[in-house]
Structure 1
């Protein structure tokens, strides 16, 4: 199929939008895209030769951005590399207008987004022009005097641009960066913050294993010993943690973290800033310098697995020590960070499992077999998180974080996650005096719905719970309690979307190859009609008011007017 496309286009496209083939005029898209791409290349090159930044370059780079939105990266690898190199040169023009630089930078970020399309052999970008651009704008000596003005968005754009270009820095870049910024490393000077910020942003960590002696091995011991030595949580320590987290994630299995794992988890626990002791006082500066939760979970998920299992033991100890803080009666400034940790850590582990088991191999360094997460590692991780997650279901901040955590944990081990949630859900559906318990458990059941109805080898009895749950949820369609009514509609709509509500009870007599669970499900499906009729009765009951809620059940479509106030 690729050969046919390349014969039509004259090149092998990098990555086009596959859905364009479903359009009614798909047969003329190749000719149309080729014509537009030829105009863009010709006119953009002409504008650069004539040094016509405005309107020439600006107009045709916007045309290239529109082309990518319409057709994806439907150009050859050679054109892809040339577009990137051209835009890189344009961005680093001295004294280029900031608005133009931002527009070109966003287009370049879009071109570099799919890292698997271009390897280090295909593309190399110098780091120093980006450093000089960053230094000139973010550390301007004239902006505070009012002589220059930079928009607030320019910092994020520049940092994203550096992160996109970082995998393609040359082999010698690490040594050159160390020579440039090592003189600024003084813990008692303000230059320390600047130097560590540059190290975090620019140091490449995706070099292949044979080039590690030119990469992180030049600075790893030095910066890690600095992190261990400093105990008062300065502002630059956050940047160091972000750098170590990225390094660990990009080089799983190639760095021995075991000597530092106890120290890592101790620092993570301290950065949570939990109220402990008799006075329960919080130091204000710790609140601003606390570690970023996104990088903490990246670091922890990269440490899991491996022969030693030390990281999992430390993680279990960490959650044992902070479980009581998730109790619904507890509340404070620190609770939001705990809930973020609880929600993001399972998601990060799921991403790692996808990377190890399902993602197509690319030029990026794969995880060695010796350090891939085993089934025992996954089970231990899920077990260590279940107690705090079940407590967090009824948190005062809401159940959304716990529901997202349960969703990712159920993808890994449904037999460990779903039964405790069901044990809390069934009693909550029977009581009328605790509406918060009902809304919280229904929210979590929505999160694990896909793992529940899919069944599978690990939790084959899951689908048998669907109909009892739907029948028990019907009393929740109550216009007098808007939040309960809305979560009930969402609950019913989720299950009705995942499972077709069809009466297949006759299959029990017609098929002889059904399993016990399948026979039970077929027999129970006769009650689907009763469920729909009961729902319609309640729909008639609440058929007034101003606010409309749309829900689909099987082939039945309802507009349910609800009174919100």
Structure 2
């Protein structure tokens, strides 16, 4: 099929949108997209040659952005590289209006997003024009727009050049330290093959890590350094030895939460506290997991043991939001790493070595360490959404460890009428684990057997007198009925002889689907009245 598409288009597309094949007019899309792409290439190139930024270049770059939304990266690798180089030149053009540059930068970000499509052999970009642009925007009266840089496409020699440029600014007692570290965070390349590490992060890793370990007075630039280390860890899993620093790393992470300690509930003042970006912290932690020693997992067990009590529903404070973000984002980061190691197609980016890939035991240990805090956070005063998202990702990894305790809390909550908050919280978490529950599989084969009992017990939740309970019940029923077809399969018991015991039980229970639908429609009609 791909070969036929290549012959029709005249090139091999980089990455088109696969769902377009399901459209009723899919057979006409190749010709339609080819015509649009040809117009964009012709008119955009002509506008650039004529130096007509307005309206020519701006109009056709917007057309290219629309093309990406409709068809994805449905162009050849050569066109992909040329589009990026053209947009890069436009973004770094001197004396360009900030609003126009922002529009070009957004399109450039979109073109560079799928880093697996282009390697550094296909594309190299000079780093100094970006540095000059950043210097002009950030250190001028013009408001900073938060543009994203792409250090993975800088040449091999760029690391040493950057160190020569910014190392003289490294003075912990001067304001230039903040400037230097922010430049390092943004520009230093971290995606390189192992044979080039000597010209990459090994030139600065020991120096910057020693600086981070030795400075203890909560400097403002510490968060930028942590972001750089997180990116390095994620791009080089198994190629950086973090073991000597892991105890210090987890100690600093725990300190950054600014948790209350002692009988007087002392906390660090909000004006001098140094809080790391949770998004980078979870990437750093998930990238260090695994390996022969698995030292990071032992430290993670200790971290969650020390903060588990803070997730109790009776606790509240400004620190709780950080803890809930950690709980929500860490399992998602580990799921992304597992997908990268086990399912993602190989590309030019260096794969994770077999010795440092997460094993089944590593995943089990991780889920066990997070299970208790997540179950406590289900009834948090900040809501149950963070816990539900955490349970969703934990259930994807180990449903047999996560789903049973959630069910143990859900069934009693459905039976009581005096604790509506408990019901809404448990239903929200059940919606999160619904896919893992209903898919069954070898890890949790008895999961589908809970479908009908849960749906029948949820019916009393269709109560117009309690709006929040009613809405979460509708969402719960809609989620389950979307994942499971409501079909009476009881006749299969007499027609098939190759059914397992669980399949026979499910077929027998499916006869009650009609009763559920009738009861739901009766309650729904009363709700509308």
> TM-score, normalised to structure 2's length?
0.96
Shift of 1:530: 1.9
Residue matched to 1:106 = 106
Whole-Å separation in 1 of the counterparts to 2:285 and 2:39: 49
Decide whether the 8 Å contact of 1:271 with 1:286 is kept in 2: no
Whole-Å separation in 1 of the counterparts to 2:27 and 2:400: 49
Change (3 A) 1:537 1:36: closer
Query: Which whole-Å deviations, capped at 9, do the CAs of 1:267-293 have from their partners, x for residues lacking one?
Result: 111111100112222222467520111
Residue matched to 1:489 = 474
Shift of 1:37: 2.9
Whole-Å separation in 2 of the counterparts to 1:23 and 1:518: 35
Decide whether the 8 Å contact of 1:12 with 1:75 is kept in 2: yes
Residue matched to 1:170 = 155
Shift of 1:401: 0.6
Whole-Å separation in 2 of the counterparts to 1:429 and 1:28: 51
Shift of 1:15: 2.3
Whole-Å separation in 1 of the counterparts to 2:51 and 2:525: 70
Shift of 1:40: 2.8
Shift of 1:26: 4.4
1:278 to 251, 257, 263: 263
Query: Which whole-Å deviations, capped at 9, do the CAs of 1:426-455 have from their partners, x for residues lacking one?
Result: 111111111111111111111111111111
1:498 to 469, 478, 483: 483
Segments of structure 1 that go 5 or more residues without pairing to the other structure are: 144-148, 545-565
| 1:94 has 2:94 as partner | yes
Residue matched to 1:254 = 239
- Secondary structure at 2:192's aligned position in 1? coil
Shift of 1:415: 0.7
| 1:155 has 2:145 as partner | yes
Shift of 1:14: 2.0
Shift of 1:69: 3.0
Shift of 1:3: 3.4
Query: Which whole-Å deviations, capped at 9, do the CAs of 1:8-42 have from their partners, x for residues lacking one?
Result: 33322222334444545545544443333333333
The 5 A counterparts of 1:454-533 are 454-533=439-518
Residue matched to 2:5 = 5
Whole-Å separation in 2 of the counterparts to 1:180 and 1:452: 55
Shift of 1:334: 0.5
> TM-score, normalised to structure 1's length?
0.90
| 1:389 has 2:374 as partner | yes
Query: Which whole-Å deviations, capped at 9, do the CAs of 1:50-79 have from their partners, x for residues lacking one?
Result: 333333322332332233333332322112
| 1:236 has 2:226 as partner | no
The 5 A counterparts of 1:208-227 are 208-227=193-212
Residue matched to 1:405 = 390
Structure 1 stretch 59-68 or stretch 360-369: which is displaced more? Answer: 59-68
Whole-Å separation in 2 of the counterparts to 1:537 and 1:460: 33
Residue matched to 2:274 = 289
Whole-Å separation in 2 of the counterparts to 1:450 and 1:299: 28
Query: Which whole-Å deviations, capped at 9, do the CAs of 1:339-386 have from their partners, x for residues lacking one?
Result: 110111111111110000000111111101000000100111111111
Whole-Å separation in 1 of the counterparts to 2:23 and 2:273: 51
Whole-Å separation in 2 of the counterparts to 1:522 and 1:396: 41
Residue matched to 1:44 = 44
Shift of 1:491: 1.2
Decide whether the 8 Å contact of 1:273 with 1:287 is kept in 2: no
Structure 1 stretch 49-58 or stretch 424-433: which is displaced more? Answer: 49-58
Residue matched to 1:33 = 33
Residue matched to 1:365 = 350
- Secondary structure at 2:225's aligned position in 1? helix
Change (3 A) 1:314 1:105: same
Whole-Å separation in 1 of the counterparts to 2:97 and 2:36: 28
Shift of 1:239: 0.5
Decide whether the 8 Å contact of 1:175 with 1:218 is kept in 2: yes
The 5 A counterparts of 1:389-468 are 389-468=374-453
Structure 1 stretch 84-93 or stretch 373-382: which is displaced more? Answer: 84-93
Residue matched to 1:85 = 85
Shift of 1:516: 1.3
- Secondary structure at 2:227's aligned position in 1? helix
Segments of structure 2 that go 5 or more residues without pairing to the other structure are: none
- Secondary structure at 1:437's aligned position in 2? helix
Whole-Å separation in 2 of the counterparts to 1:251 and 1:213: 13
Decide whether the 8 Å contact of 2:218 with 2:273 is kept in 1: no
Decide whether the 8 Å contact of 1:235 with 1:289 is kept in 2: yes
Whole-Å separation in 2 of the counterparts to 1:20 and 1:475: 41
| 1:196 has 2:195 as partner | no
Whole-Å separation in 1 of the counterparts to 2:399 and 2:483: 17
Aligned length: 529
Change (3 A) 1:507 1:123: same
